[in-house]
Amino acid sequence: MTMNLTSPAFQHGDEIPRRHTCQGGDFSPPLVWSDVPANAKSLVLIVDDPDAPDPAAPKTVWVHWVLYNIPPPTGGLAESAAGVQVPPGTLAGANDWKRATYGGPCPPIGRHRYFFKLYALDATLPDLGTPRKSALEKAMKGHVIAEAHLLGTYQKH
């Protein structure tokens, strides 16, 4: 059994709709997951762009969204999930704009890839404050029991 991550807003590999970017409303896309392992205690969502700043010469992985301790039975996140709209118990980490919320695609040049990565953990993590992606990945080490990826692309129009 493989864990799955999809979005009603776009198919894997397709362009992320404008409303989910800095050129639209910057709303986080709705996400749906399934086949989470029965022994999962929490989920982690990391959204990042490995093509920053220029896909022809990437220099960094830009982090757009970090959520952890998502309860596994939730089955997904509604569009524009932030603050009180995330499932109870969910904690937010810091993106590369130093905000604990979703920051949509806003590539300065070219078409970028955006990876939505969902991890099932065999533990609930302690409150890490507002961790950066690297601190969260360190806390997750040894606890990941399954993962699923969803890829979207975007280029400013």
Q: What is the pLDDT of residues 57-67, one digit of tens each?
A: 999 999 999 99
Residue 62, classed as helix, strand or coil, is strand
Q: For position 157, what pLDDT does the model report?
A: 85
Reduced to 3 DSSP states, what percent helix, strand and coil does the chain have, rounded to the nearest 5?
10, 35, 55
Answer whether residue 83 shows pLDDT above 90. no
Mean pLDDT value across residues 96-105: 95
- Looking at the structure of the chain, the number of domains it has is 1
pTM given for the model? 0.96
Q: What is the CATH number of the domain that holds 83?
A: 3.90.280.10
145 — pLDDT class (breaks 50, 70, 90): very high
Domain range for 65 is 4-154
One-letter amino acid identity for 99?
R
Q: For position 84, what pLDDT does the model report?
A: 62
Q: For position 1, what pLDDT does the model report?
A: 60
56 — pLDDT class (breaks 50, 70, 90): very high
